[in-house]
């Protein structure tokens, strides 16, 4: 029986459309609301393309490698069964839809709450780093755990050094908000299941049907995408002001 978090409206379509339908549901709200006058996220698209492309490229390589070595696998019963380099076509769509929705949430926070302070940056970074190290110690040498949390620790330290004055509290708030739809999306992926994890390679802790590492897998993506998004925006605007 599927976990309640995996509930999905199927619209009477065959199960092979499950993943693609999930992506369409996930992108519809953020895309439509991108034209809201206050947020006007559509104006930010030009700054978002490069960050999403390059970070998603890295994640696709990671995804292909982990599929090949059996860290996870895809259930063909819920797929269109169009595969490119080990990954179903829908998985490539995942690395467009989820980053877009995450960046949209981040931009909404900037638009509606422009005065959030950055004085807690070090505390928040330190908390995530400490938690990551403790989880790695709890699950020694588990491939998914150590890869995700290890890269997250390195990434946070790097960006703390590279952009110490950037207000990353918006990033963490966006991540926390994104966890709400993530419970639905990843609940469907792991509840049907569309994506099947090798439990020998993760810490064994699940939120519903979702491995705990998935939440930090998403955070790691957001750390790189949001920083590069802001870096790309700052660089472009600076060039315009100083031709």
pLDDT, one tens digit per residue, over 173-231 is: 999 999 999 999 999 999 999 999 999 999 999 999 999 999 999 999 999 999 999 99
CB burial of 15-31 (b: ≥16 within 10 Å; e: otherwise) equals eebbbbbbbebbbeebb
Per-residue pLDDT at 118: 78
pLDDT, one tens digit per residue, over 42-78 is: 999 999 999 999 999 999 999 999 999 999 999 999 9
Tell me how far apart the alpha carbons of residues 114 and 182 are, in angstroms, rounded to a whole number. 25
Per-residue pLDDT at 92: 97
8 A C-beta contact, residue 39 and residue 108 = yes
Model-wide pTM > 0.85: yes
Per-residue pLDDT at 241: 66
Per-residue pLDDT at 128: 96
Per-residue pLDDT at 80: 95
Per-residue pLDDT at 204: 95
- C-alpha distance from residue 242 to each of 38, 232, 235, 237, 238 (Å): 28, 15, 10, 9, 6
pLDDT, one tens digit per residue, over 5-23 is: 445 556 677 889 999 999 9
Which of 101, 120, 126 lies closest to 179 in space, CA to CA?
101
Q: Report whether pLDDT(4) > 50.
A: no
Per-residue pLDDT at 1: 42
Domain boundaries, the chain: 20-241
Per-residue pLDDT at 6: 47
- In sequence order, what are the beta bridge partners of 88? 83
Phi and psi (nearest 5°) for 206? -125, 145
pLDDT band at 234 (very low <50, low <70, confident <90, very high): confident
Check residues 240 and 80 and name the one with the higher pLDDT.
80
pLDDT, one tens digit per residue, over 33-51 is: 999 999 999 999 999 999 9
Biggest alpha carbon–alpha carbon distance for the chain: 61
Check residues 3 and 30 and name the one with the higher pLDDT.
30
pLDDT band at 115 (very low <50, low <70, confident <90, very high): confident
Per-residue pLDDT at 183: 94
Residues in the chain, overall count: 243
List of residues 6+ apart from 240 with CB closer than 8 A:
none
Per-residue pLDDT at 59: 97
Q: What is the 3-state secondary structure of 136-199?
A: HHHCCCCHHHHHHHHHHHHHHHHHHHHCCCCCCHHHHHHHHHHHHHHHHHHHHHHHCCCEEECH
> How many beta carbons lie within 10 A of that of residue 32, not counting itself?
9
Which of 28, 175, 29 lies closest to 103 in space, CA to CA?
175
Tell me how far apart the alpha carbons of residues 97 and 163 are, in angstroms, rounded to a whole number. 27
Residue 222 parent element (H or E): helix 212-241
């Amino acid at each position: 029986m599927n976990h309640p978090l995996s509930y999905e409206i199927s619209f009477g379509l065959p199960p092979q459309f499950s993943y693609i339908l999930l992506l369409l549901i996930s992108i519809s709200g953020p895309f439509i609301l991108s034209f809201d006058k206050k947020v006007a996220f559509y104006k930010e698209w030009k700054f978002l393309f490069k960050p999403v492309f390059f970070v998603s490229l890295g994640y696709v390589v990671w995804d292909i490698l982990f599929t090949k070595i059996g860290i996870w696998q895809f259930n063909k019963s819920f797929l269109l069964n169009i595969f490119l380099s080990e990954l179903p076509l829908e998985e490539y769509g995942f690395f467009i839809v989820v980053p877009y929705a995450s960046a949209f949430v981040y931009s909404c926070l900037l638009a509606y709450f422009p005065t959030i302070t950055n004085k807690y940056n070090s505390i928040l970074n330190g908390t995530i780093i400490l938690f990551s190290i403790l989880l790695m110690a709890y699950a020694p040498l588990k491939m998914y755990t150590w890869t995700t949390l290890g890269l997250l620790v390195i990434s946070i330290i790097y960006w703390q050094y590279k952009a110490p004055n950037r207000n990353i509290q918006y990033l963490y708030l966006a991540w926390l908000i994104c966890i709400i739809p993530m419970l639905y999306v990843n609940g469907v992926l792991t509840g049907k299941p569309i994506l099947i994890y090798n439990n020998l390679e993760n810490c064994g802790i699940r939120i519903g049907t979702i491995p705990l590492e998935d939440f930090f897998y998403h955070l790691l993506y957001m750390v790189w995408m949001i920083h590069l998004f802001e870096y790309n925006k700052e660089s472009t605007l600076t060039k315009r002001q100083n031709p």
